Amino acid sequence: MPEPLLFEIGAPGREGYSLPEPDVPTRDLDEMLPPARQRQELNLPEVAQIDLVRHFTRLSQQNFSVDTSFYPLGSCTMKYNPKVNEDAARLAGFRAIHPYQPAETVQGALRLMYELQNYLASISGMAGITLQPAAGAHGELTGMLMVRAYHAARGHQRRLVLVPDSAHGTNPATAAMCGYEVATLRSNGRGGVDLDELRRLMTDEVAALMLTIPNTLGLFDENICEVASIVHSRGGLLYCDGANMNALLGQVRFADLGCDVLHFNLHKTFSTPHGGGGPGAGPVGVSQPLLPFLPVPVVGYRPEAAEGEKYFLDWDRPQSIGRVRAFYGNFGVMVRAYTYIRTLGAEGLRAVSENAVINANYLLALLKEYYDLPYQRRCMHEAVLSAKRQKAHGVRALDIAKRLIDYGLHPPTIYFPLIVEEALMIEPTETESKQTLDYFARAMIEIAEQAERNPEVVLAAPHHTPVGRLDEVAAARRPNLRWRPESKKS
Ligand SMILES: *Cc1c(COP(=O)(O)O)cnc(C)c1O
């Protein structure tokens, strides 16, 4: 049964609290609050505490989360986030500080930021890092503003940005926001950049190539070094979207691939609960020539300075693109990422990517007999399959996604990447056990069989949820956000 609204649960006169009679004059309070009559006209719900508690507890149980079940939402890295990260983020010394406090009173926080910059630099090989951007897409914006500043400083503002058709959708959007024209690069038959096409399009007007690594097909570009050298030979920069770095930790350094600008998604790779608009962080790493353009302030360290002044905010950077975020970024996310990196260490981080890749390939091996595989290659951290075969029976990727909900599983990303028909983009992540993967594969195989023999059961899914298929277009176009009492409904 769908959970009723609080308005529908209550009855006039019910209260969720009881307070003793006040022993101080209440005249001021009466003046501050609207008169009782007006309060009634607000039609606020009136519920007992027990009904209130049950209402919100039931709602929380209808919520899906990584802590309740498997969440293979491709490209989003919905892995388990160790609870020790939360403990660290809630330490009073981190939780209860204010960004306007003098630097000498927050040396520990600045040290954490400084060391996190260094860890990200050593993981990626990049020369400098800013922690300021609040999300992956925000990191892209920051990175591309630095690309602009770099070309401007060299006296020739270029016009174009190249983006492969296998890139994340935020890449072309970012380039356009920075005022660039976007030219799309076709993928070759192995899901990589088509080198001939790149050579043809790579002119002196191209500011950068934006490459998602691994790309949205879950594939690593086999010609990445060749790609970088073609871009560099015409004075362009290589921007790398590293949001899905859980595939590559400790395996390869982006700088060694020829990357000039790179963004990380701390909330994905470095383990902060995200989704639903929760806080994130999209630090950006740059190569040596782009260092002067980093946003201010950069967190610096001077070992020779007096105690209390060693860690500092460096504002003295005349070529900086300026600040991109209020204060210094989402500090709580930085604490979680720092804790995650420190608890795992170099060996642990390498194991993260080994497990992410082996988990995805395990699923690929179990499922490729039952679903179409558009590129016959080993994948990285995610496997992109196609429901083309099921479509012949009238069952589409959306129907398969809805049917998975009946098995207690979160659906994978669907209809993305756009270059795969009926795409099912499955990212199991490194934190899942073989049992969980086997359960998911069994569900997917059963659904493939149902699609062939009994498509109605798939087409009518989900069967076991409080509500079935929602009208998503109407929900987006005509959202019904306000409750009205029965008497006032028109
Ligand atoms: C998630 C993702 C982004 C965007 O990150 P947000 O934090 O959601 O803004 C960009 N690129 C890739 C490849 C991603 O997976």
265 close to ligand 1 (CB < 6 Angstrom): yes
**Mean pLDDT, rounded, for 43-47:** 86
Residue nearest to atom 4 of ligand 1 (CA): 136
Q: CATH class for domain 350-475?
A: alpha beta
**Higher per-residue confidence, 380 vs 9:** 380
Q: Residue 222's pLDDT is what?
A: 95
261-264 vs 237-242, strand pairing mode: parallel
Rounded CA separation 144/124 (Å) = 18
78 close to ligand 1 (CB < 6 Angstrom): no
Pocket test for ligand 1, best of 174, 241, 284 (most atoms within 8 A of CB): 241
Q: Is the pLDDT of residue 346 over 80?
A: yes
245 close to ligand 1 (CB < 6 Angstrom): no
Residue 316 CA to ligand 1 center (angstroms) comes to 31
Rounded CA separation 3/1 (Å) = 6
Residue 272 CA to ligand 1 center (angstroms) comes to 14
Q: Is the pLDDT of residue 205 over 80?
A: yes
Q: Residue 487's pLDDT is what?
A: 67
Burial class (CB in 10 A: 0-12, 13-18, 19+), 467: exposed
Domain locations in the chain?
A: 6-62, 83-342, 350-475
Measure the CA angle with vertex 284, ends 292 and 358; round to 5°.
145
Q: Residue 247's pLDDT is what?
A: 97
Burial class (CB in 10 A: 0-12, 13-18, 19+), 381: buried
Number of other CB atoms surrounding residue 310 within 10 Å: 18
Amino acid symbol at 360: A
**Higher per-residue confidence, 470 vs 201:** 201
Amino acid symbol at 450: Q
Q: Residue 414's pLDDT is what?
A: 98
Residue 160 phi/psi, 5° resolution?
Answer: -120, 150
**Mean pLDDT, rounded, for 178-202:** 97
Rounded CA separation 395/185 (Å) = 31
Contacting residues for 111 by C-beta, under 8 A, at least 6 apart = 301, 310, 311
Residue 138 CA to ligand 1 center (angstroms) comes to 9
**Mean pLDDT, rounded, for 93-112:** 96
Confidence category of residue 39, pLDDT binned at 50, 70, 90: low
Number of other CB atoms surrounding residue 223 within 10 Å: 16
**Higher per-residue confidence, 372 vs 466:** 372
Topology adopted by domain 83-342? Aspartate Aminotransferase; domain 2 (3.40.640)
Which is the closest atom of ligand 1 to the Cα of 140? Answer: 10
Q: Residue 454's pLDDT is what?
A: 97
Q: Residue 19's pLDDT is what?
A: 83
What is the CA 115 to chain-centroid distance, rounded?
23
Q: Residue 33's pLDDT is what?
A: 73
Q: Residue 276's pLDDT is what?
A: 73
Which is the closest atom of ligand 1 to the Cα of 265? Answer: 7
**Higher per-residue confidence, 28 vs 361:** 361
Which of 14-28, 72-86, 209-223, 232-246 shows the lowest per-residue confidence on average (mean pLDDT)?
Answer: 14-28
Confidence category of residue 53, pLDDT binned at 50, 70, 90: very high
Confidence category of residue 232, pLDDT binned at 50, 70, 90: very high
Radius of gyration of the chain (CA): 26
Confidence category of residue 488, pLDDT binned at 50, 70, 90: low
Confidence category of residue 13, pLDDT binned at 50, 70, 90: confident
Pocket test for ligand 1, best of 171, 239, 265, 272 (most atoms within 8 A of CB): 265
Contacting residues for 202 by C-beta, under 8 A, at least 6 apart = 162, 209, 230, 231, 233, 234, 236
User: What's the chain's average pLDDT?
Assistant: 94
For residue range 273-332, list pLDDT tens digits in order. Answer: 998 767 899 999 999 999 999 999 999 999 999 999 999 999 999 999 999 999 999 999
Residue nearest to atom 5 of ligand 1 (CA): 136
Residue nearest to atom 3 of ligand 1 (CA): 136
136 close to ligand 1 (CB < 6 Angstrom): yes
What is the CA 344 to chain-centroid distance, rounded?
21
Q: Residue 130's pLDDT is what?
A: 98
Pocket test for ligand 1, best of 73, 144, 168 (most atoms within 8 A of CB): 168
Residue 199 phi/psi, 5° resolution?
Answer: -60, -40
Domains 83-342 and 350-475 equal at CATH topology level: no
Residue nearest to atom 6 of ligand 1 (CA): 136
**Higher per-residue confidence, 209 vs 15:** 209
* Greatest Cα pair distance in the chain: 83
Burial class (CB in 10 A: 0-12, 13-18, 19+), 487: exposed
Rounded CA separation 340/343 (Å) = 5
Nearest to 211 by CA among 226, 193, 191, 225: 193
Q: Is the pLDDT of residue 150 over 90?
A: yes
75 close to ligand 1 (CB < 6 Angstrom): yes
Number of other CB atoms surrounding residue 390 within 10 Å: 25
